[in-house]
A and B are shown apart, each in its own frame.
Chain A
Amino acid sequence: MQLTPRLIVRATKFVALLCVSFFVGSLPAHAQRGNQSLLVETGTQLSVLPNGLRLIVKEQHVTHLVTVDVWVKAGAGKELRRELGAAHYMEHMLFKGTAKRKPGEIDAAIEDLGATLSAGTNYDAAHFYTTVDTKFTSQALEVLSDALQNSVLDQTEMDHERSVILDEIVRAQNDFRKQARNQLFEQLFPDQPFGRPVLGSSDSIRNLTRDTLQKFYEKWYAPNNTTIVVVGDINLKEADRLVRDQFSTWAKRDLPAATATEPTSATLLPQPAPQPSDARLIGFPLGIREDITAAAAAKCLAMLLGGARYGKIADGVKSVFTQPEEDPLPKKTLTGKPVILQASLDLVEVDVDFMTNGGAFSILTVAPATSMNAVQQGVVSALRKLQKTPVTSQELEAVKRQAIGKLLFASETGGGQAYSLGEWDARGDFSRSEKLLDAITKLKPKDVLTLADRLFEPARTVVTDFVGRVAR
């Protein structure tokens, strides 16, 4: 390369920038455990109230906005079989009135502040969040505090909301990817709540009683099972004061003992589908809880494999279709019709779901049903290759950039950062939210190889054809 003056100036600039970045990155962590406040390197702080409520604060003054995101570890993963759908139902009902506020007034109180109140439920937690102008932080916390502590679970409102949730369940069928993942989880985690749909089923929602919901609420909605994440134009001291004002009287409760949930070993078996399907899922129990390097490797592995045109799976499928002599295809499909040797892979989606039960790694392929067995051969070939041969540094650097870019984009807003911190906290450690970026940066080809070797174990693989409407 020719070193032009312009390049030399740029090179100098970047060496300087790199020095700054290393300097900032090597600042020591401050630990002040004595007064229950912990300052981690990145400026995210944790405070724990006497009633066990956790407060995570990330001070950031880019805009005059504050996100408040309350995470209650009361996700679908906590449901007993007879409570199916209760976690998500509770998320809906929390906005339906308290002793102080009638139905509709909780949303109205937040919308009066020029904001919206939203919520979500996953397997590990339910969360309730809003982003407001800094000056309204106290009011937003007051509304959330009232909703969380004093929900009345009115029977009439519950019946209204039942039909809304039934509509939501039907609406979820519009996203065949989610439906397909539900189907996969059912087989990956049989006999675990993680194998049941977060929304519940139409039957379970029709039959869920107020008494069941009330018990679920009393069991899990407690300060010692809750984390409030505050991100934005506010410091820890102020956030701490405002949160204590609203939440310190919330009485601590004994929580049910955690039940150990281990991923199930399944067997590699292409299950014959009732009808030829255009979508096939291959899934693996991820088994990652604390190992942040493995988590980073899983993210990158998913990116290496994914993409209908350029990923490793697409390459594997192409190789199967173009080298039938060397890698023989099954001559007949499960229906007895001849395989059409046409490389037609419409969609490949590779997902990593981190969850408290260890999570899942899933591969969804969409192709004409007649080609699906050949496509699967291509997938298996791509996975085996990754188990044997390390990815090149160049390949890894490219996916690292993509992975980091995605994470940074997701965390560009206060809401995005609060989500990530809360989600990781619900899984056990909020600091992994920020450590993940660092772990991706430091990832080596051997880390990917190690994970691939452990993960893609035939004895722990589930293969299932999606039964349902594939809209693509």
Chain B
Amino acid sequence: MIASRTVFAFILAITLFGSAAFAQEGVTRLKTTSGVTALVKQESVGEFVAICVFVKAGVAEEDGVTGIGNLVARSLFGSNESHSREGVQQSIQEVGGSLEAIWNPDYTLITCVTHRSAVDDALYLIGQAIRNPDFDPETLREALKGVETDAKREGTESFRVAYAALRARLFEDGPYRLPFGGSMDNQRKLNQATCKAYFNKRFIPSNTVVSIVGNVQVDKIEDSLKSAFFDYDRTPPRPTRVIKSQTTADRSLVRRTANTATDLVATGFRCPGLRDKDYPVAKVLEAIMGGGKSSRLFRKVRDSAGLGYAVGSYMPSLSTEGMLMAYVEYAPNHVGADGNPITPDAVVALITDSVQSLIKDPPTNAELERAKRYAAGVHQLAHQRARDRAFYLGWMEIAGPGALLDSDLPLLIAKVTIDDLKRVATKSLAFQASVVVTPAR
């Protein structure tokens, strides 16, 4: 029944896709009796509905068992109390096949994009997964394989290697210093019992936020949520102590290798995180530093020095403590303007000059205005898919500042002044950690 319905849904989606009037958005906040927060953004058009379920089960909630969150996230859609592993997989196909669970340093996220007629079934399936998964041995074995593949892949991606190295320098003592996803050694020791114990402690209503975006009716969603989460009622454990991390005093260049053909040099800085009131200022700072092709980094490194194809900045979505990263990826035999091969130290100097210019030469009004429009524009463009609209809504809620920040952020960005930038740049850019990742021989 569900299968044939999905085919109908696809046919309908094909024929109706694109016909529309303006979507009128408004977010309704719901709370189940057990304490799950749900945010429903009702849109008047579209056939697809995106569901994001966030559970605060990130690196800070692992209690030292690094990697357990990642393994549990990968095992949520194995067998459960009501269905076999095959049955669950079959049901996932029936709601469109896009249901997945991923682990993130701040949360575990379940995402599903489905036809609006299948929302009820999708929520039921998600409810089953976060109420009573089995963590059967076969599922855990599969999950472990996935972790292993991902770990191997990380070794081939110089950007990820650099990111991990910079976190270790910038967040000494804090949870973000740890390898995201955990180590294989740790994860091989985990079993059904340890996974269940962790799951029961962290997957609880007060740690859960559901965000739903699409052409849905709020009252129907409320009914579906009640039914999907009816006995999801575990009580919260004692709150996790938040450890404020220190930045290491070691300022030497970190050297790493990866299975790549290129060199990558990156520098990182601590900056206001999502919960900080200066987060919008940090977004503008990032835009001036390395956002887009008119940023200082791009102009200095790529346009003027002709160095690197991949040049830019990255501000990861970390909620408690923020980080800003500037990077350049280039051929190891790249010859500089003087006719000699360029050294990683010279690239670090080039990036440092560009970044530190933000303190020495504060932005002009024109530069500030462009950066504000760019930062706000990027935020707007990141909301084109229903899945992304659901993500931002839920992420802002689970991470602390609240769902409203999603719509307020462009307004807050518009209010950023040059003085704000000077203040945050002076504080954030005072210490930098640098890493060079070279090809493994």
Q: Do A and B truly interact?
A: yes
CB distance from B193 to the nearest CB of A (A): 28
Q: Complex: how many Å from CA A11 to CA B117?
A: 11
Give the residues in chain A near B6, CB-CB below 8 Å.
Answer: 401
Interface residues of B (CB under 8 A from A): 1, 3-23, 45-46, 48, 93, 96-98, 113, 117, 152-153, 156, 158, 259-262, 292-294, 299, 302-304, 306-310, 329-335, 369-370, 373-374, 376-378, 380-381, 383-386
Residue of B nearest to A132 (CB): B377
Contact residue among B96, B294, B383, B385 (Cβ-Cβ distance under 8 Å from A108): B294
Given A398-B93, A401-B6, A441-B10, residue A171 in contact with residue B262 (CB < 8 A) = yes
SS of A interface (majority): helix
Would A167 and B303 count as touching, CB distance under 8 A?
A: no
A 201-231 binary contact with B (CB < 8 Å = 1; else 0): 0000000000000000000000000000000
Q: Complex: how many Å from CA A162 to CA B307?
A: 10
Instruction: Tell whether A238 is near chain B: CB-to-CB under 8 Å.
Output: no
Contact residue among B9, B15, B261 (Cβ-Cβ distance under 8 Å from A173): B261
Instruction: Tell whether A331 is near chain B: CB-to-CB under 8 Å.
Output: no
Instruction: Tell whether A17 is near chain B: CB-to-CB under 8 Å.
Output: yes
Would B307 and A167 count as touching, CB distance under 8 A?
A: yes
Contact residue among B308, B370, B377 (Cβ-Cβ distance under 8 Å from A164): B308
Chain B CB within 10 A, most for which of A18, A24, A114, A441: A114
Would B381 and A115 count as touching, CB distance under 8 A?
A: yes
Residue of A nearest to B308 (CB): A167
Instruction: Tell whether A128 is near chain B: CB-to-CB under 8 Å.
Output: no
Would A17 and B10 count as touching, CB distance under 8 A?
A: no
Would A108 and B23 count as touching, CB distance under 8 A?
A: no
Instruction: Tell whether A95 is near chain B: CB-to-CB under 8 Å.
Output: yes
Contact residue among B7, B45, B262 (Cβ-Cβ distance under 8 Å from A401): B7
Q: Which of A245-253, A289-297, A404-412, A422-430 is found at the contact surface with chain B? A: A404-412
Would A115 and B377 count as touching, CB distance under 8 A?
A: yes
Give the residues in chain B near A287, CB-CB below 8 Å.
Answer: none
Given A62-B45, A133-B380, residue A111 in contact with residue B1 (CB < 8 A) = no
**Residues of A within 8 A of B (CB-CB), count:** 71
Give the residues in chain B near A397, CB-CB below 8 Å.
Answer: 3, 7
Chain B CB within 10 A, most for which of A10, A108, A159, A171: A171
CB distance from B396 to the nearest CB of A (A): 19
Given A113-B377, A471-B260, A472-B152, residue A401 in contact with residue B10 (CB < 8 A) = yes
Q: Complex: how many Å from CA A17 to CA B6?
A: 12
Given A21-B12, A21-B15, A62-B45, residue A171 in contact with residue B331 (CB < 8 A) = yes
Residue of A nearest to B94 (CB): A401
A 163-192 binary contact with B (CB < 8 Å = 1; else 0): 111111111011000000000000000000
Q: Complex: how many Å from CA A159 to CA B294?
A: 19
Given A14-B117, A171-B329, residue A111 in contact with residue B96 (CB < 8 A) = no
Given contacts A114-B374, A114-B380, A174-B156, 20 further A-B contacts (CB under 8 A): A7-B1, A13-B117, A21-B12, A21-B15, A24-B16, A60-B20, A65-B380, A107-B294, A108-B370, A111-B370, A116-B292, A116-B378, A164-B302, A167-B308, A401-B6, A404-B14, A408-B10, A412-B385, A437-B14, A471-B260
Instruction: Tell whether A469 is near chain B: CB-to-CB under 8 Å.
Output: yes
Instruction: Tell whether A257 is near chain B: CB-to-CB under 8 Å.
Output: no
Give the residues in chain B near A437, CB-CB below 8 Å.
Answer: 14
Given A112-B370, A114-B373, residue A164 in contact with residue B10 (CB < 8 A) = no
Instruction: Tell whether A104 is near chain B: CB-to-CB under 8 Å.
Output: yes
Would A103 and B292 count as touching, CB distance under 8 A?
A: no
Give the residues in chain A near B45, CB-CB below 8 Å.
Answer: 62
Would A104 and B293 count as touching, CB distance under 8 A?
A: yes
Give the residues in chain B near A107, CB-CB below 8 Å.
Answer: 292-294
* Residues 333-381 (chain A) with a chain B CB within 8 angstroms: none
Would A405 and B261 count as touching, CB distance under 8 A?
A: no
Q: Complex: how many Å from CA A12 to CA B18?
A: 25
Would B5 and A21 count as touching, CB distance under 8 A?
A: no
Instruction: Tell whether A25 is near chain B: CB-to-CB under 8 Å.
Output: yes
Interface residues of A (CB under 8 A from B): 1, 7, 10-11, 13-14, 17-18, 20-22, 24-25, 42-43, 58, 60-63, 65, 95, 103-104, 107-108, 111-117, 131-133, 159-171, 173-174, 397-398, 401-402, 404-405, 408-409, 411-415, 417, 437-438, 441, 469, 471-472
Contact residue among B17, B20, B376, B386 (Cβ-Cβ distance under 8 Å from A114): B376
Pairs A-B, 3 closest by C-beta atoms? A114-B377, A170-B331, A107-B293
Would A167 and B299 count as touching, CB distance under 8 A?
A: no
Give the residues in chain A near B374, CB-CB below 8 Å.
Answer: 111, 114-116
Would A10 and B262 count as touching, CB distance under 8 A?
A: no
Pairs A–B under 8 Å by Cβ, sample size 18:
A17-B12, A20-B16, A21-B12, A21-B14, A58-B18, A62-B46, A111-B294, A113-B377, A114-B374, A164-B307, A173-B262, A397-B3, A397-B7, A404-B14, A408-B14, A409-B98, A409-B113, A412-B48
Would A17 and B156 count as touching, CB distance under 8 A?
A: no
Q: Complex: how many Å from CA A205 to CA B185?
A: 46
Would A95 and B310 count as touching, CB distance under 8 A?
A: no
Residue of A nearest to B45 (CB): A62
Given A21-B15, A163-B306, A170-B331, residue A111 in contact with residue B373 (CB < 8 A) = yes
Give the residues in chain A near B293, CB-CB below 8 Å.
Answer: 95, 104, 107-108, 111, 116-117
Give the residues in chain B near A163, CB-CB below 8 Å.
Answer: 306-307, 334-335
Give the residues in chain B near A160, CB-CB below 8 Å.
Answer: 303-304, 306
Give the residues in chain A near B156, CB-CB below 8 Å.
Answer: 174, 471-472
Would A18 and B8 count as touching, CB distance under 8 A?
A: yes
Residue of A nearest to B329 (CB): A171
CB distance from B111 to the nearest CB of A (A): 12
Give the residues in chain B near A60, CB-CB below 8 Å.
Answer: 18, 20
Q: Complex: how many Å from CA A375 to CA B159?
A: 33
Q: Complex: how many Å from CA A112 to CA B372?
A: 9
Would B310 and A171 count as touching, CB distance under 8 A?
A: yes
Give the residues in chain B near A1, CB-CB below 8 Å.
Answer: 1
